[in-house]
Structure 1
Amino acid sequence: MITSKQRSYLRGLANKIQPIFQIGKNDIEETFIKQINDALTARELIKITVLETSDYTAREASDLLCKKLKCEGVQAIGRKFVLYRRSKDNAKIELPV
């Protein structure tokens, strides 16, 4: 679990990154979940856009992915959300204590 101070720090970092995935009309499938898992392993912090054609809101998609991937939902605003998971082997982001 991350603290509110750490969440705030991650939100600041997320402002500078572009979304690398989009969730559209199709359900969130296993292959998509694997791609997000790989991206989290490589980057730790990723941003995802939910298209208007999707059945999910940004918060719903974030909650679902967090449950399946054991990651933290940092932020969900409008149609975008940010996920974070600390890399076990190659941690790049140093969180404030």
Structure 2
Amino acid sequence: MITSKQRSYLRSLANTMSPIFQIGKEGIEENFIKQVDSALEARELIKISVLNNSDYGAREASDELCQELGCEGVQSIGSKIVLYRQSKKNPKIELPK
């Protein structure tokens, strides 16, 4: 679990990022989950866009992915979500204490 100070720090890092994935009408499938998992391992912090034709809202998609992948939902605003999970092999982002 991350603190509000850490969440704020991660939001500031994600502010300039572009979404690298989109959740569309297919929703969240196993192949999509595998891709997000590998992206989280490589980048630690990712932004995902939820399209209008998706069955999911941004908050629902964030909750579902966090449950499947064991990551933290940093932010869910409009149609964008930000996820964080510390890398097991080579952590890059150092969170404030």
TM range (shorter): over 0.9
- What's the secondary structure of 2:46's corresponding residue? strand
* Gap regions ≥5 residues in structure 1: none
Separation (CA, whole Å) in 2 of partners of 1:3 and 1:37? 22
Separation (CA, whole Å) in 1 of partners of 2:31 and 2:8? 30
Separation (CA, whole Å) in 2 of partners of 1:23 and 1:88? 26
Aligned to 2:28: 28
Separation (CA, whole Å) in 2 of partners of 1:16 and 1:29? 27
Aligned to 2:65: 65
Q: Paired residues, what number?
A: 97
Give the superposed CA RMSD: 0.4
Aligned to 2:95: 95
Moved over 4 A (4+): none
* Gap regions ≥5 residues in structure 2: none
What is the TM-score when the length of structure 2 is the normalising length?
0.99
Separation (CA, whole Å) in 1 of partners of 2:38 and 2:65? 13
What is the TM-score when the length of structure 1 is the normalising length?
0.99
Sequence identity percentage: 73
